[in-house]
């Protein structure tokens, strides 16, 4: 026999087993009713039947566990006062005060609906649906409380309070760019002596860095000396314009020296001694650490060439990278706790001083700058750090666990617990995430309402099924209002399964 033939026989055997189970369940129920009626006709009104939610063919006269799956048995729905089901009663009939039966449905197939009692295709008795209990009545989803308990449906209360968020990020220490100074010269020359010959060396403000020989500088010094001598020789001239001209030459020469970073002390010494120096000494403009050294003894330098780079490391910048969804929690002025791996147990504090106004398109994060005090120089540029920022919402907000929300892609739903196994779907507006996987609810909930946090997908599937059944009922009513076709025979037509083609089975949350 071919593989396809074997598969066909397997499918037939499975279908036969399912049919036998359904017929057996119906026969077992009918047999049990007959035996109870014959054995104790006076006690029938006090009996309660129990069945398994997953195996309707299991029926007992006392509570217990299902012998097949072990689930707790639940009371059999729609039992009459005589101990059996009300499937044998006609719609709209019965003692005064009884609820009105709208239609009958198959226990194992909610899409099989009939307007009169009978048997389902699987041989089971149809069960009645009463007025007010039809699917989707008032938008409420009704589930047996015992089934709710067996499914492990948990609920929680929507709370009003400040939403707390603890953000963790990583960052890298960098040099404070505001304290970085480049040492260069404005004249052409050659380096004759270096006082700083390695990167990482610590210097103080005013310390000599290097000596530079510049022929152009020597000639300018000589011009300054000569202008002073000329002013001294004409200071007693009876012609004021001559004296003023000599004074202008002195000022022009002195200004030129100052533009070449010749200090006032050097200029005064030059005027006092009258001797031009052949070299220029460059001094440290700030206290700090030499971060870069390009100067080499004997090297020729040109105007604007960077010779040394000095940075003040008493303060550092911590460039912290925050994920896109956490940016809403980061604010200017927030205090941050910083930890580094090479100093376990030590914590540092800093303050967010700047948030960069653009997003990294590759890593999808935003960089924030945190200023760190580093007077003891424990922290080094280039180190990694872990940042923790704790923040809370400015105003109290309504929040629930994030797992309670069903996201359909179009809207966000929660199921409100009305008690007694009744749930109603409701659309909500979401806000920011908090700690403990909580989420802010901007609209749709009020404090104190209870929502389902587990098993809501099973509730949602029940809601979808009820939506489909309700639409079939509406279609049935529409067909009933249309002119009836001549009957082929006076006998009542047997119950028929309704046509489900074209029915929308994708309704969301029973809406």
- Tell me, yes or no, whether 7 and 128 share the same domain: yes
- Residue 22 scores a pLDDT above 70: no
Residue 394's contacts (CB-CB under 8 Å, 6 or more residues apart) are: none
Q: Is the pLDDT of residue 17 over 50?
A: yes
- Band of pLDDT at residue 32, cut at 50, 70 and 90: very low
Q: Which residue, 359, 370, 301, 302, is CA-closest to 335?
A: 370
The confidence band for 343, taking pLDDT boundaries of 50, 70 and 90, is confident
**Strand, coil or helix: 267:** helix
Structure-model confidence comparison of residues 280 and 162, the more confident one: 162
| Overall domain count for the chain | 4
Same domain as 316, residue 287: no
Burial per residue of 259-295, b for 16 or more beta-carbon CB atoms within 10 angstroms, e otherwise: ebbbeeebbeebeeeeeebebbbbebeeebbbbebeb
Model pLDDT, residue 441: 92
Answer yes or no: is 181 within a domain: no
Give which of 431, 313, 425 is closest to 378, Cα–Cα.
313
Q: Which residue has the higher pLDDT, 414 or 23?
A: 414
- Are 154 and 172 found together in one domain? no
CA distance 190 to 280: 10
- State whether 129 and 7 are in the same domain: yes
- Domain holding 113, by residue range, is 3-133
Three-state DSSP state, 112: strand
Residue 275 DSSP SS3: coil
Residue 509 has pLDDT above 50, yes or no: no
For all residues of the chain together, what is the average pLDDT? 76
Distance CA 440, CA 488 (A): 63
Q: pLDDT tens for residues 173-191?
A: 999 988 899 998 888 889 9
CB atoms within 10 A of CB 158: 21
- Grade residue 336 by pLDDT with cuts at 50, 70 and 90: very high
Q: How much of the chain exceeds pLDDT 70, in percent?
A: 70
Kindly state whether residues 385 and 449 are assigned to the same domain: no
Maximum alpha-carbon separation in the chain: 152
Ramachandran bin of 152, using left for φ above 0, alpha for ψ from -120 to 50, beta for the remaining angles: left
Sign, CA dihedral 6-12-18-20, equals: negative
Tell me the pTM: 0.53
- Which of residues 286, 304, 322 is at a domain's end? 304
In this prediction, residue 37 carries a pLDDT of 46
Give the Å distances, CA to CA, from 177 to 182, 304, 370, 371: 11, 20, 13, 11
Contact 154, 161 (CB under 8 A): no
Distances, alpha carbon 1 to alpha carbons 4, 5, 6, 7, in Å: 8, 6, 7, 10
Residue finishing a domain among 269, 304, 339 = 304
Closest CA to 68 of 16, 11, 25: 25
Distance CA 478, CA 402 (A): 42
Q: How confident is the model at residue 329 (pLDDT cuts 50, 70, 90)?
A: confident
Are residues 236 and 267 part of one domain? yes
- Domain termination site, one of 258, 282, 304: 304
Buried b (16+ CB within 10 A) or exposed e, 194-221: bebeeeeeebeeeeebbbbebeebbebb
CA distance 2 to 442: 62
Measured between alpha carbons, how far is residue 404 from residues 160, 162, 425, 452 in Å?
A: 16, 19, 12, 6
Does an H or E element contain 220, and which?
helix 215-234
Mark whether 10 and 97 lie in a shared domain. yes
Domain harbouring 358, CATH code:
2.40.30.170
Kind of pairing between the strands at 347-355 and 306-311: unpaired
d(Cα 34, Cα 202) in Å, to the nearest integer? 104
Token pair 């940075």: residue: 311
Tell me which residue has tokens 């026969």. Answer: 27
Q: Are residues 18 and 116 in the same domain?
A: yes
Q: What pLDDT does residue 63 have?
A: 86
| 9 lies in the same domain as 116 | yes
Q: Token pair of 113, please? A: 């609906």
């Amino acid at each position: 026999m071919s593989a396809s033939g074997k598969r066909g026989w397997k499918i037939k055997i499975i279908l036969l087993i399912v049919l036998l189970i359904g017929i057996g369940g119906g026969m077992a129920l009918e047999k049990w009713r007959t035996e109870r009626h014959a054995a104790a006709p006076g006690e029938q009104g006090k009996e309660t039947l129990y069945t398994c939610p997953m195996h309707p063919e299991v029926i007992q006269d006392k509570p217990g566990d299902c012998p097949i799956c072990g689930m707790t048995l639940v009371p059999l729905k729609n039992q009459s006062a005589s101990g059996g089901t009300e499937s044998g009663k006609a719609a709209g009939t019965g003692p005064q005060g009884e609820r009105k039966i709208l239609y009958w449905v198959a226990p194992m197939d909610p899409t099989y609906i009939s307007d009169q009692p009978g048997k389902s295709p699987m041989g089971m008795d149809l069960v009645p649906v009463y007025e007010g209990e039809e699917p989707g009545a008032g938008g409420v989803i009704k589930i047996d409380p015992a089934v709710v308990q067996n499914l492990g449906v948990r609920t929680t209360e929507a709370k009003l309070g400040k939403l707390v968020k603890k953000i963790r990020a990583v960052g890298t220490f960098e040099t404070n760019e505001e304290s970085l100074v480049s040492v260069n010269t404005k004249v052409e020359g050659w380096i004759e002596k270096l006082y700083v010959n390695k990167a990482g060396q610590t210097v103080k403000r005013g310390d000599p860095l290097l000596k530079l020989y510049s022929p152009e500088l020597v000639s300018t010094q000589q011009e300054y000396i000569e202008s002073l001598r000329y002013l001294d020789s004409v200071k007693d001239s009876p012609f004021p314009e001559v004296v003023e001209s000599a004074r202008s030459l002195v000022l022009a020469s002195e200004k030129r020296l100052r533009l070449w970073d010749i200090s006032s002390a050097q200029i005064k010494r030059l005027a006092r001694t009258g001797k031009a120096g052949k070299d220029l000494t460059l001094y440290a403009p700030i206290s700090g650490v030499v971060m870069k050294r390009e100067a080499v003894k004997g090297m020729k330098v040109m105007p604007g060439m960077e010779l040394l780079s000095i940075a003040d490391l008493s303060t550092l910048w911590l460039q912290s990278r925050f994920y896109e969804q956490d940016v809403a929690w980061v604010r200017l002025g927030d205090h941050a706790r910083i930890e580094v791996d090479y100093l376990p147990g030590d914590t540092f504090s800093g303050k967010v001083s700047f948030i960069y106004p653009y997003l990294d398109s590759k890593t999808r994060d935003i960089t924030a700058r945190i200023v760190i005090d580093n007077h003891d120089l424990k922290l080094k540029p280039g180190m990694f750090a872990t940042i923790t920022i704790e923040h809370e919402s400015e105003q109290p907000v309504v929040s629930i666990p994030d797992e309670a929300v069903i996201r359909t892609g179009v809207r966000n739903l929660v199921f409100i617990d009305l008690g007694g196994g009744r749930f109603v779907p409701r659309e909500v507006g979401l806000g920011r995430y908090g700690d403990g996987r909580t989420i802010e609810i901007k609209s749709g909930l009020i404090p104190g309402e209870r929502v389902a946090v587990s098993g809501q997908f099973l509730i949602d599937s029940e809601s979808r099924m009820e939506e489909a059944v309700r639409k079939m009922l509406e279609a049935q009513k529409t067909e009933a209002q249309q002119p009836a076709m001549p009957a082929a025979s006076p006998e009542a037509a047997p119950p028929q399964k309704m046509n489900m083609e074209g029915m929308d089975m994708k309704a969301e949350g029973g809406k």
